[in-house]
Amino acid sequence: MKSSAESIHLDGVFLSVKYAMRRAGGGSIIMTSSVAGLRESAGLARYCATKGGVRLFAKAVAMECAAEADGIRVNTVHLVSSTRRSGRSYHGPAGATCRSTRTRSPKRGVARQGGQAQDIANGVLFLASDASDYMTGRSL
């Protein structure tokens, strides 16, 4: 049985795409997802499955739009909680606790996970602009 969260994550995205772009005659669809759609996380199996579903749905729609040559690009942005830094714990859906990790780049020191809201907004702005007119079916 589907929960209301699954309906929002999957059905909501499907219905939005179904009614949005064909009428507009082209453009950019940017679906928001989560890093949980890219990798597993203990205690978040249902959440990971729905967010992974959004990612694969976007890729499939991108291929269909490209085949139709209708000028519609489809990409996903995978958000991470801004509190997932410095190895601190965070709480996901249903109180599941996860531990974040940090990656080290030899040239830049410790890379931030998640970024600030403006970092995400800049990526979305790029995907919505003509500067990304060659990108479809990609995850940011």
Q: Which residues are catalytically annotated?
A: 47
Contact 10, 53 (CB under 8 A): yes
Write down the residue that tokens 């190895």 correspond to.
87
A 10 A CB-CB count for 65 gives 21
Q: Which residues, other chains included, contact 127 with Cβ-Cβ below 8 Å and sequence gap of 6+?
A: 28, 30, 73, 75, 77, 135, 140
Q: How many residues does the chain have?
A: 140
Residue 31 to residue 29: CA distance in whole angstroms: 6
110 token code pair: 């410790």
Q: Which residues, other chains included, contact 131 with Cβ-Cβ below 8 Å and sequence gap of 6+?
A: none
